[in-house]
Amino acid sequence: MNKENIQKLIDEVKQGKEYAFKVLMERYQPGIYKMIYQIIKNREETEDIVQETFIKAFNSINSYNNKYAFSTWLYKIAYNHSIDTIRKRKLKTFSIDKPIKFQKGEIKQEIRDESFIPDKEIMNRESINNILKQIESLPEKYRKALVLRHQEDYSYEEISKMLSIPIGTVKARIFRAREILKKKLQE
């Protein structure tokens, strides 16, 4: 559907023709749903917000400025409504500082820290050293491409110029290096 057809439908909606709004809704509903779901992460709530978005759009269609894309205007309504919904949610929280009160007294909360693992740092260091060792053992053409891309953050184009090889070759070498590395690390 091109811009002129969309504008024609918008003009018809402004004249009160509901079928035109239905056509617009069918066109944009899947994308609006997908965007809202990514924000809300709840199907039922997403469905409600999608409906409310289109109701808001229908009721405020006269405020739409055709200098801008209709989709941008519609997605902005959906995004704002999603954010408003998140803000209205009340988190059920409790204080870990305040004691829990019972009829016969109170109990202080004690939360065990299970995140501390004494040898975790040593294990991480060993893993990093092993990865670096395996990278060093790669054939030079693969190692160079991989290091330039992942350790020095050069783009494929920059690596291509630096190594005087085509971009496709750069991508192939990096892919091959990753595959070799993956195989070595699994062993």
Structure tokens at 149: 């891309």
Residue ranges matching CATH 1.10.1740.10 in the chain: 3-88
Q: How many CB atoms lie within 10 A of CB 59?
A: 9
Is the pLDDT score of 35 beyond 90? yes
Residue 93 has what pLDDT?
Answer: 59
Fold of 3-88: Rna Polymerase Sigma Factor; Chain: A (1.10.1740)
Q: Do the Cβ atoms of 145 and 159 come closer than 8 Å?
A: yes
User: CA 58 → CA 2, 13, 54, 123, distances in Å?
Assistant: 20, 8, 6, 58
Residue ranges matching CATH 1.10.10.10 in the chain: 120-186
What architecture does CATH give domain 120-186? Orthogonal Bundle (1.10)
- Higher-pLDDT residue of 187 and 37 is 37
**Rounded distance, CA 114 to CA 116, Å?**
6
Could you tell me the pLDDT band of residue 51, with boundaries at 50, 70 and 90?
very high
Which residue do the tokens 């617009």 mark? 24
Give 67-123 pLDDT, tens digit per residue: 888 999 999 999 999 998 888 876 555 566 677 777 777 777 666 666 667 677 777
Residue 8 has what pLDDT?
Answer: 92
Q: What is the DSSP string of 96-123?
A: SSSPEEETTEEE----------TTHHHH
* Share of residues in the chain with pLDDT > 90 (%): 52
Q: Mean pLDDT for the chain?
A: 86
Question: pTM of the predicted model, to two decimals?
Answer: 0.48
Residue 85 has what pLDDT?
Answer: 87
Q: For the chain, first and last CA: distance in Å?
A: 54
Residue 34 has what pLDDT?
Answer: 95
Residue 121 has what pLDDT?
Answer: 73
Note the maximum CA span of the chain.
80
Q: Do the Cβ atoms of 26 and 19 come closer than 8 Å?
A: no
Apex 13 CA angle, 9 and 16, nearest 5 = 145
Residue 28 has what pLDDT?
Answer: 94
Give 164-187 pLDDT, tens digit per residue: 999 999 999 999 999 999 998 887
Q: Do the Cβ atoms of 74 and 57 come closer than 8 Å?
A: yes
Residue 179 has what pLDDT?
Answer: 93
**Rounded distance, CA 152 to CA 155, Å?**
9
Is the pLDDT score of 46 beyond 90? yes
Residue 113 has what pLDDT?
Answer: 65
Q: Do the Cβ atoms of 46 and 40 come closer than 8 Å?
A: yes
Is the pLDDT score of 41 beyond 70? yes
